[in-house]
Amino acid sequence: MFSGSTDDRETNELKTMTSWRHDMKNQLGIILGFADLLLQELDSADPHRADLAEIREAGARAMELLGDLKLPE
């Protein structure tokens, strides 16, 4: 059953989206942080560096896309 005004519903949806974006940033931050740590620790000739750099780049791109996401005012 519907209850509450349209404004209430929109406010709740905005809160949910804001919280979702915060959670996504948290998870992407963990991916980027561990990728940075490993890139610092691996030898420059380590064969895994290129794969790790791809992971880091994709994580950074995902973060940009998240930043581009426009939430309603």
Binding site for another protein (CB under 8 A): 22, 25-30, 32-34, 36-37, 40, 63
**CB-based contacts of 72, cutoff 8 Å, min separation 6:** 10, 14
Q: Which is nearer to another protein, 1 or 55 (CB)?
A: 55
Backbone angles phi, psi at 71, to 5 degrees: -95, 145
* Residue 7 or 41 having the CB closest to another protein: 41
- Residue 31: how many CA atoms within 13 Å on its side-chain side? 18
> For residues 22 and 45, which CB has a smaller minimum distance to another protein in the complex?
22
Task: State the nearest-atom distance from the C-beta of 33 to another protein, in Å.
Answer: 4
Min CB(50)–another protein separation in Å: 20
Instruction: Please report, as a single letter, which amino acid is at residue 7.
Output: D
